Structure 1
Amino acid sequence: MNLLIFSVLSLLVSLSYANIIQSDYCVGDLSLPSSPAGYSCKNPAKVTADDFVYSGLRVAGNSANPFKFGASTAFVPQFPGLNGMGLSITRADLEVGGVVPIHTHRVSELIIVIEGTIIAGFIDTNNTAYYKTLTKGDVMIFPPTLLHFQVNVGSTPVLAYASFASENPGIQIVDTALFGNSLPSELIKKVALLDDAQIKKLKKMFGGTN
Protein backbone atom coordinates (compact mmCIF):
# COMPACT_ATOMS: atom_id res chain seq x y z
CA MET A 1 0.00 0.00 0.00
CA ASN A 2 2.80 2.40 0.93
CA LEU A 3 4.54 1.59 -2.35
CA LEU A 4 1.34 2.36 -4.26
CA ILE A 5 0.92 5.73 -2.50
CA PHE A 6 4.58 6.56 -3.17
CA SER A 7 4.17 5.64 -6.86
CA VAL A 8 1.06 7.81 -7.22
CA LEU A 9 2.74 10.76 -5.50
CA SER A 10 5.82 10.38 -7.69
CA LEU A 11 3.65 10.35 -10.79
CA LEU A 12 1.80 13.49 -9.67
CA VAL A 13 5.10 15.28 -8.99
CA SER A 14 6.43 14.21 -12.41
CA LEU A 15 3.28 15.43 -14.13
CA SER A 16 3.40 18.75 -12.27
CA TYR A 17 6.98 19.35 -13.41
CA ALA A 18 6.04 18.38 -16.95
CA ASN A 19 3.35 21.04 -16.87
CA ILE A 20 5.74 23.67 -15.50
CA ILE A 21 8.73 23.08 -17.78
CA GLN A 22 7.51 23.54 -21.34
CA SER A 23 10.90 24.42 -22.80
CA ASP A 24 14.47 25.00 -21.68
CA TYR A 25 14.22 28.79 -21.86
CA CYS A 26 12.31 31.71 -23.33
CA VAL A 27 14.71 34.54 -24.11
CA GLY A 28 12.61 37.68 -24.23
CA ASP A 29 12.00 39.27 -27.62
CA LEU A 30 12.32 42.93 -26.65
CA SER A 31 11.14 44.04 -30.09
CA LEU A 32 7.63 42.92 -29.11
CA PRO A 33 5.39 44.40 -26.38
CA SER A 34 5.60 42.90 -22.90
CA SER A 35 2.59 41.59 -20.97
CA PRO A 36 1.92 40.64 -17.34
CA ALA A 37 3.22 37.18 -18.28
CA GLY A 38 6.47 38.62 -19.65
CA TYR A 39 7.85 38.92 -23.18
CA SER A 40 7.21 36.61 -26.08
CA CYS A 41 10.02 34.16 -26.77
CA LYS A 42 12.79 35.06 -29.18
CA ASN A 43 13.07 32.69 -32.15
CA PRO A 44 15.27 29.84 -30.79
CA ALA A 45 17.21 29.78 -34.06
CA LYS A 46 18.39 33.32 -33.26
CA VAL A 47 19.35 32.68 -29.63
CA THR A 48 23.09 32.85 -28.85
CA ALA A 49 25.25 32.53 -25.73
CA ASP A 50 25.21 36.33 -25.46
CA ASP A 51 21.51 36.16 -24.57
CA PHE A 52 22.47 34.44 -21.32
CA VAL A 53 25.26 36.85 -20.33
CA TYR A 54 25.00 40.42 -19.02
CA SER A 55 27.97 42.66 -18.18
CA GLY A 56 26.11 45.79 -17.07
CA LEU A 57 26.79 45.20 -13.38
CA ARG A 58 30.48 45.89 -13.90
CA VAL A 59 29.62 49.60 -13.91
CA ALA A 60 28.45 51.55 -10.85
CA GLY A 61 25.11 53.30 -11.09
CA ASN A 62 24.88 57.08 -11.30
CA SER A 63 24.89 58.47 -7.75
CA ALA A 64 24.67 62.15 -8.75
CA ASN A 65 21.32 62.64 -7.02
CA PRO A 66 20.04 63.87 -3.64
CA PHE A 67 20.32 60.37 -2.17
CA LYS A 68 23.93 59.80 -3.28
CA PHE A 69 22.88 56.35 -4.44
CA GLY A 70 23.18 54.61 -7.80
CA ALA A 71 21.76 51.32 -9.10
CA SER A 72 22.64 49.14 -12.08
CA THR A 73 19.84 46.68 -12.78
CA ALA A 74 19.76 43.32 -14.49
CA PHE A 75 16.03 42.97 -15.04
CA VAL A 76 14.55 41.39 -18.15
CA PRO A 77 14.48 44.66 -20.15
CA GLN A 78 18.28 44.82 -19.78
CA PHE A 79 18.92 41.06 -19.68
CA PRO A 80 16.33 39.25 -21.85
CA GLY A 81 17.74 35.82 -20.95
CA LEU A 82 15.99 36.23 -17.57
CA ASN A 83 12.56 36.13 -19.22
CA GLY A 84 10.45 33.52 -17.46
CA MET A 85 13.22 32.60 -15.02
CA GLY A 86 11.70 34.25 -11.95
CA LEU A 87 14.82 36.01 -10.71
CA SER A 88 16.96 39.10 -11.27
CA ILE A 89 19.74 41.12 -9.65
CA THR A 90 20.77 44.72 -9.00
CA ARG A 91 24.07 46.37 -8.12
CA ALA A 92 23.78 49.16 -5.52
CA ASP A 93 26.46 51.81 -4.92
CA LEU A 94 26.12 54.22 -2.00
CA GLU A 95 28.51 57.10 -1.49
CA VAL A 96 29.48 58.05 2.08
CA GLY A 97 26.22 59.22 3.65
CA GLY A 98 24.26 57.73 0.76
CA VAL A 99 20.76 56.33 1.14
CA VAL A 100 18.55 53.89 -0.73
CA PRO A 101 15.28 55.70 0.07
CA ILE A 102 12.20 53.93 1.39
CA HIS A 103 10.72 51.91 -1.46
CA THR A 104 8.87 48.72 -2.29
CA HIS A 105 8.91 45.88 -4.85
CA ARG A 106 6.27 43.37 -5.92
CA VAL A 107 8.45 40.47 -4.70
CA SER A 108 10.95 39.52 -2.01
CA GLU A 109 14.51 40.85 -2.09
CA LEU A 110 17.75 39.38 -0.73
CA ILE A 111 20.64 41.81 -0.24
CA ILE A 112 24.32 41.02 0.37
CA VAL A 113 26.91 43.62 1.36
CA ILE A 114 30.18 43.35 -0.57
CA GLU A 115 31.97 46.41 0.81
CA GLY A 116 31.13 48.96 3.49
CA THR A 117 28.62 49.27 6.32
CA ILE A 118 24.89 49.98 6.11
CA ILE A 119 21.83 50.06 8.27
CA ALA A 120 19.13 48.13 6.40
CA GLY A 121 15.56 47.53 7.42
CA PHE A 122 11.90 47.18 6.59
CA ILE A 123 8.53 48.06 8.14
CA ASP A 124 5.79 45.44 8.28
CA THR A 125 2.04 45.98 8.01
CA ASN A 126 1.79 46.27 11.81
CA ASN A 127 4.19 49.23 11.57
CA THR A 128 6.93 47.24 13.31
CA ALA A 129 10.38 48.25 12.11
CA TYR A 130 13.10 45.61 11.70
CA TYR A 131 16.58 47.04 11.07
CA LYS A 132 20.17 45.96 11.53
CA THR A 133 23.71 47.16 10.86
CA LEU A 134 25.21 45.04 8.07
CA THR A 135 28.85 44.76 7.06
CA LYS A 136 30.82 42.84 4.43
CA GLY A 137 29.34 39.39 3.83
CA ASP A 138 26.08 40.02 5.69
CA VAL A 139 22.79 39.10 4.04
CA MET A 140 19.24 40.35 4.77
CA ILE A 141 15.85 39.44 3.34
CA PHE A 142 13.05 41.94 2.68
CA PRO A 143 9.58 40.36 2.38
CA PRO A 144 7.51 41.17 -0.72
CA THR A 145 5.71 44.55 -0.98
CA LEU A 146 6.98 45.86 2.38
CA LEU A 147 8.66 49.26 2.61
CA HIS A 148 12.43 48.98 3.10
CA PHE A 149 15.64 51.05 2.94
CA GLN A 150 19.43 51.09 3.31
CA VAL A 151 21.69 53.84 4.69
CA ASN A 152 25.50 54.02 4.40
CA VAL A 153 26.62 54.63 7.99
CA GLY A 154 30.31 53.94 7.41
CA SER A 155 33.26 56.08 6.34
CA THR A 156 33.71 54.40 2.93
CA PRO A 157 31.48 53.82 -0.12
CA VAL A 158 29.18 50.79 -0.07
CA LEU A 159 28.83 48.11 -2.73
CA ALA A 160 25.94 45.67 -2.38
CA TYR A 161 23.98 43.31 -4.61
CA ALA A 162 20.28 42.54 -4.34
CA SER A 163 18.52 39.58 -5.91
CA PHE A 164 14.78 39.40 -6.52
CA ALA A 165 12.22 36.63 -6.89
CA SER A 166 11.14 37.97 -10.29
CA GLU A 167 12.78 38.88 -13.59
CA ASN A 168 10.97 42.23 -13.44
CA PRO A 169 10.32 43.06 -9.76
CA GLY A 170 9.29 46.68 -10.23
CA ILE A 171 10.15 49.47 -7.80
CA GLN A 172 8.21 52.33 -6.27
CA ILE A 173 10.17 54.92 -4.28
CA VAL A 174 7.95 56.72 -1.77
CA ASP A 175 9.50 60.17 -2.33
CA THR A 176 9.20 59.93 -6.11
CA ALA A 177 5.65 58.57 -5.88
CA LEU A 178 4.54 61.46 -3.69
CA PHE A 179 6.46 64.33 -5.24
CA GLY A 180 7.24 63.28 -8.81
CA ASN A 181 3.62 63.19 -9.98
CA SER A 182 0.92 65.59 -11.17
CA LEU A 183 -1.29 65.43 -8.06
CA PRO A 184 -2.32 68.93 -6.91
CA SER A 185 -0.23 70.15 -3.99
CA GLU A 186 -3.44 70.72 -2.03
CA LEU A 187 -4.22 67.02 -2.15
CA ILE A 188 -0.69 66.02 -1.14
CA LYS A 189 -0.89 68.46 1.75
CA LYS A 190 -3.96 66.62 3.06
CA VAL A 191 -2.66 63.06 2.64
CA ALA A 192 0.95 63.70 3.74
CA LEU A 193 0.40 66.34 6.46
CA LEU A 194 3.08 68.59 4.95
CA ASP A 195 2.91 72.35 4.49
CA ASP A 196 2.76 74.00 1.07
CA ALA A 197 6.38 75.21 1.11
CA GLN A 198 7.71 71.71 1.83
CA ILE A 199 5.61 70.18 -0.93
CA LYS A 200 6.70 72.76 -3.51
CA LYS A 201 10.36 72.24 -2.56
CA LEU A 202 10.07 68.45 -2.90
CA LYS A 203 8.07 68.66 -6.14
CA LYS A 204 10.78 70.83 -7.62
CA MET A 205 13.42 68.33 -6.47
CA PHE A 206 11.61 65.26 -7.88
CA GLY A 207 10.05 66.79 -11.00
CA GLY A 208 6.43 66.94 -9.92
CA THR A 209 3.87 69.41 -11.25
CA ASN A 210 0.77 71.24 -9.94
Structure 2
Amino acid sequence: MAKHLVLLSLAVVFTFSCLAFAYEPSPLQDFCVADTTSSARVNGLACKDHMKVQADDFFFSGLHIAGNTSNAVGSSIKPVNVAQIPGLNTLGVSMVRLDFAPWGINPPHTHPRASEIITVVEGSLEVGFVTSNPENRLITKVLKKGDVFVFPVGLVHFQRNVGYGNAMALAVLSSQNPGAITIANAVVGSNPSIGSDILAKAFQVDKKIVEQIQSKF
Protein backbone atom coordinates (compact mmCIF):
# COMPACT_ATOMS: atom_id res chain seq x y z
CA MET A 1 0.00 0.00 0.00
CA ALA A 2 2.82 2.40 0.94
CA LYS A 3 4.55 1.60 -2.35
CA HIS A 4 1.39 2.49 -4.27
CA LEU A 5 1.10 5.81 -2.40
CA VAL A 6 4.71 6.66 -3.25
CA LEU A 7 4.11 5.85 -6.93
CA LEU A 8 0.92 7.92 -6.93
CA SER A 9 2.72 10.84 -5.31
CA LEU A 10 5.49 10.66 -7.90
CA ALA A 11 2.91 10.57 -10.69
CA VAL A 12 1.17 13.67 -9.31
CA VAL A 13 4.47 15.53 -8.96
CA PHE A 14 5.45 14.56 -12.52
CA THR A 15 2.07 15.64 -13.90
CA PHE A 16 2.18 19.04 -12.25
CA SER A 17 5.81 19.48 -13.27
CA CYS A 18 4.79 18.89 -16.90
CA LEU A 19 1.96 21.39 -16.56
CA ALA A 20 4.27 23.95 -15.02
CA PHE A 21 6.63 23.72 -17.99
CA ALA A 22 3.90 23.45 -20.63
CA TYR A 23 4.22 27.11 -21.54
CA GLU A 24 7.05 29.39 -20.47
CA PRO A 25 9.90 27.84 -18.45
CA SER A 26 10.91 29.33 -15.13
CA PRO A 27 13.92 31.66 -15.28
CA LEU A 28 17.29 30.22 -14.27
CA GLN A 29 18.71 33.53 -13.05
CA ASP A 30 17.50 36.70 -11.31
CA PHE A 31 16.51 38.27 -14.64
CA CYS A 32 17.17 38.14 -18.35
CA VAL A 33 16.58 41.63 -19.72
CA ALA A 34 15.87 41.34 -23.43
CA ASP A 35 18.71 42.37 -25.72
CA THR A 36 16.75 43.86 -28.61
CA THR A 37 19.92 44.30 -30.66
CA SER A 38 20.77 40.59 -30.66
CA SER A 39 20.02 38.42 -33.69
CA ALA A 40 20.24 35.21 -31.63
CA ARG A 41 17.22 32.96 -32.05
CA VAL A 42 15.93 31.54 -28.78
CA ASN A 43 12.51 30.79 -27.27
CA GLY A 44 12.13 34.34 -26.07
CA LEU A 45 14.84 36.98 -26.42
CA ALA A 46 18.56 36.83 -25.74
CA CYS A 47 19.79 38.28 -22.45
CA LYS A 48 21.40 41.67 -22.16
CA ASP A 49 24.73 41.86 -20.30
CA HIS A 50 23.57 41.95 -16.68
CA MET A 51 26.18 44.60 -15.83
CA LYS A 52 24.50 46.95 -18.31
CA VAL A 53 21.00 46.47 -16.86
CA GLN A 54 19.33 49.67 -15.62
CA ALA A 55 16.12 50.45 -13.73
CA ASP A 56 14.51 51.62 -16.98
CA ASP A 57 14.75 48.05 -18.32
CA PHE A 58 12.01 47.15 -15.80
CA PHE A 59 9.94 50.32 -16.21
CA PHE A 60 7.06 51.60 -18.35
CA SER A 61 5.09 54.84 -18.07
CA GLY A 62 1.85 55.73 -19.78
CA LEU A 63 -0.76 53.23 -18.64
CA HIS A 64 -2.72 56.10 -17.09
CA ILE A 65 -3.28 57.63 -20.54
CA ALA A 66 -6.55 56.66 -22.23
CA GLY A 67 -6.30 55.08 -25.68
CA ASN A 68 -7.94 56.39 -28.84
CA THR A 69 -11.25 54.57 -29.36
CA SER A 70 -12.19 56.45 -32.55
CA ASN A 71 -12.12 53.38 -34.78
CA ALA A 72 -14.47 50.83 -36.31
CA VAL A 73 -14.75 48.68 -33.17
CA GLY A 74 -14.72 51.48 -30.61
CA SER A 75 -11.88 50.20 -28.47
CA SER A 76 -8.17 50.65 -27.82
CA ILE A 77 -5.62 48.19 -26.47
CA LYS A 78 -2.38 49.39 -24.90
CA PRO A 79 -0.03 46.43 -24.29
CA VAL A 80 2.71 46.27 -21.70
CA ASN A 81 4.70 43.20 -22.68
CA VAL A 82 8.34 42.37 -23.34
CA ALA A 83 8.35 44.80 -26.27
CA GLN A 84 7.67 47.66 -23.85
CA ILE A 85 9.54 46.32 -20.79
CA PRO A 86 12.64 44.29 -21.74
CA GLY A 87 12.92 43.13 -18.12
CA LEU A 88 9.79 40.98 -18.60
CA ASN A 89 11.83 38.56 -20.70
CA THR A 90 11.52 35.02 -19.19
CA LEU A 91 9.19 36.20 -16.41
CA GLY A 92 6.00 34.86 -18.03
CA VAL A 93 3.72 37.83 -17.39
CA SER A 94 2.42 40.95 -19.17
CA MET A 95 -0.59 43.26 -19.04
CA VAL A 96 -2.80 45.50 -21.14
CA ARG A 97 -5.02 48.54 -20.72
CA LEU A 98 -8.33 48.32 -22.58
CA ASP A 99 -10.41 51.43 -23.33
CA PHE A 100 -13.93 51.31 -24.74
CA ALA A 101 -16.18 53.94 -26.26
CA PRO A 102 -19.90 53.49 -25.47
CA TRP A 103 -20.90 50.09 -26.90
CA GLY A 104 -17.39 49.54 -28.20
CA ILE A 105 -16.04 45.99 -28.42
CA ASN A 106 -12.80 44.07 -28.24
CA PRO A 107 -13.72 41.59 -31.01
CA PRO A 108 -13.60 37.80 -30.50
CA HIS A 109 -9.95 36.75 -30.34
CA THR A 110 -7.58 34.29 -28.71
CA HIS A 111 -4.22 34.45 -26.96
CA PRO A 112 -2.35 31.34 -28.11
CA ARG A 113 0.23 31.52 -25.32
CA ALA A 114 -1.61 32.89 -22.28
CA SER A 115 -4.55 32.83 -19.92
CA GLU A 116 -5.95 36.25 -19.03
CA ILE A 117 -7.45 37.79 -15.92
CA ILE A 118 -9.29 41.10 -16.31
CA THR A 119 -10.70 43.67 -13.89
CA VAL A 120 -13.01 46.55 -14.71
CA VAL A 121 -11.73 49.93 -13.52
CA GLU A 122 -14.50 52.12 -14.95
CA GLY A 123 -17.89 51.36 -16.50
CA SER A 124 -19.48 47.98 -17.23
CA LEU A 125 -18.35 45.26 -19.61
CA GLU A 126 -20.04 42.21 -21.03
CA VAL A 127 -17.36 39.53 -21.28
CA GLY A 128 -17.38 35.95 -22.43
CA PHE A 129 -15.50 33.00 -23.87
CA VAL A 130 -16.45 29.96 -25.93
CA THR A 131 -15.49 26.43 -24.93
CA SER A 132 -13.76 24.13 -27.41
CA ASN A 133 -15.42 21.69 -29.82
CA PRO A 134 -17.84 20.03 -29.88
CA GLU A 135 -19.86 21.97 -27.26
CA ASN A 136 -18.79 25.53 -28.23
CA ARG A 137 -20.65 26.75 -25.15
CA LEU A 138 -20.70 30.50 -24.50
CA ILE A 139 -19.85 31.45 -20.93
CA THR A 140 -20.62 35.12 -20.40
CA LYS A 141 -21.17 37.68 -17.63
CA VAL A 142 -21.63 41.43 -17.19
CA LEU A 143 -18.88 42.94 -15.06
CA LYS A 144 -19.08 46.14 -13.05
CA LYS A 145 -16.35 48.27 -11.54
CA GLY A 146 -14.05 46.12 -9.43
CA ASP A 147 -15.26 42.79 -10.84
CA VAL A 148 -12.74 40.21 -12.08
CA PHE A 149 -13.05 37.53 -14.78
CA VAL A 150 -10.72 34.89 -16.21
CA PHE A 151 -10.29 33.76 -19.84
CA PRO A 152 -8.61 30.33 -20.14
CA VAL A 153 -5.60 30.01 -22.44
CA GLY A 154 -6.34 29.65 -26.15
CA LEU A 155 -10.13 30.05 -25.96
CA VAL A 156 -12.01 32.59 -28.09
CA HIS A 157 -13.16 35.50 -25.92
CA PHE A 158 -14.43 39.08 -26.17
CA GLN A 159 -15.40 42.20 -24.23
CA ARG A 160 -18.11 44.79 -24.92
CA ASN A 161 -18.94 48.06 -23.21
CA VAL A 162 -22.60 47.82 -22.21
CA GLY A 163 -22.83 51.33 -20.79
CA TYR A 164 -23.49 54.76 -22.27
CA GLY A 165 -20.20 56.14 -20.97
CA ASN A 166 -16.59 55.15 -21.56
CA ALA A 167 -15.22 52.00 -19.91
CA MET A 168 -11.71 50.94 -18.97
CA ALA A 169 -10.22 47.66 -17.82
CA LEU A 170 -6.83 46.24 -16.94
CA ALA A 171 -5.82 42.69 -17.80
CA VAL A 172 -2.85 40.52 -16.85
CA LEU A 173 -1.70 37.66 -19.09
CA SER A 174 0.45 34.65 -18.24
CA SER A 175 3.08 35.25 -20.92
CA GLN A 176 5.67 37.89 -21.69
CA ASN A 177 4.38 37.75 -25.28
CA PRO A 178 0.85 36.28 -25.27
CA GLY A 179 0.06 36.97 -28.92
CA ALA A 180 -3.42 37.73 -30.21
CA ILE A 181 -5.45 36.24 -33.06
CA THR A 182 -8.53 38.28 -33.92
CA ILE A 183 -10.92 35.75 -35.42
CA ALA A 184 -12.49 37.97 -38.09
CA ASN A 185 -9.12 39.27 -39.30
CA ALA A 186 -7.57 35.82 -39.36
CA VAL A 187 -10.45 34.03 -41.10
CA VAL A 188 -11.74 36.56 -43.61
CA GLY A 189 -8.84 39.01 -43.67
CA SER A 190 -5.86 36.70 -44.14
CA ASN A 191 -3.15 37.57 -46.67
CA PRO A 192 -3.45 35.91 -49.12
CA SER A 193 -7.15 35.27 -48.62
CA ILE A 194 -8.58 31.89 -47.74
CA GLY A 195 -10.63 30.72 -50.73
CA SER A 196 -14.16 32.13 -50.61
CA ASP A 197 -15.50 28.71 -51.58
CA ILE A 198 -13.81 27.20 -48.50
CA LEU A 199 -15.26 29.84 -46.19
CA ALA A 200 -18.69 29.62 -47.83
CA LYS A 201 -18.81 25.91 -47.05
CA ALA A 202 -17.42 26.44 -43.55
CA PHE A 203 -20.01 29.09 -42.67
CA GLN A 204 -22.77 27.49 -44.75
CA VAL A 205 -23.51 30.74 -46.60
CA ASP A 206 -23.47 31.90 -50.20
CA LYS A 207 -20.03 32.54 -51.68
CA LYS A 208 -21.03 36.11 -52.58
CA ILE A 209 -21.66 36.89 -48.92
CA VAL A 210 -18.14 35.74 -48.05
CA GLU A 211 -16.64 37.81 -50.85
CA GLN A 212 -18.57 40.85 -49.66
CA ILE A 213 -17.19 40.44 -46.13
CA GLN A 214 -13.65 39.81 -47.41
CA SER A 215 -13.78 43.06 -49.36
CA LYS A 216 -14.03 44.99 -46.09
CA PHE A 217 -10.67 43.70 -44.84
TM-score, scaled to structure 1: 0.83
| Paired AA for residue 121 in structure 1 | G
Pairing 1:1-210 to 2, within 5 Å after superposition: 22-33=28-39, 35=41, 37-106=43-112, 107-125=114-132, 126-181=135-190, 182-206=193-217
Q: CA deviation at 1:79?
A: 1.7
Q: 1:34 to 1:187 in 2, by over 3 A?
A: farther
Contact 1:60–1:71, Cα closer than 8 Å, also in 2: no
SS of the aligned residue for 1:57 comes to: coil
Q: 1:20 to 1:80 in 2, by over 3 A?
A: closer
CA distance in 2, matches of 1:67, 1:34: 38
SS of the aligned residue for 2:36 comes to: coil
Number of paired residues?
A: 189
Contact 2:27–2:90, Cα closer than 8 Å, also in 1: no
Q: 1:82 to 1:89 in 2, by over 3 A?
A: same
SS of the aligned residue for 2:201 comes to: helix
Runs of 4+ displaced beyond 6 Å? none
Q: CA deviation at 1:61?
A: 3.1
CA distance in 1, matches of 2:109, 2:159: 10
Structure 2: gaps (5+ residues): 1-16, 18-24
| Paired AA for residue 168 in structure 2 | L
Bigger shift: residues 148-157 or 36-45: 36-45
* Alignment root-mean-square deviation, CA: 2.0
Q: CA deviation at 1:164?
A: 0.4
| Paired AA for residue 122 in structure 2 | E
CA distance in 2, matches of 1:205, 1:34: 38
CA distance in 1, matches of 2:194, 2:162: 34
Structure 1: gaps (5+ residues): 1-15
CA distance in 2, matches of 1:36, 1:183: 31
Q: CA deviation at 1:21?
A: 5.0
Deviations 1:121-172 (A, max 9, x none): 1111232221111010000011111111111111111100110011001111
Q: CA deviation at 1:77?
A: 1.6
Q: CA deviation at 1:180?
A: 1.4
Contact 2:109–2:181, Cα closer than 8 Å, also in 1: yes
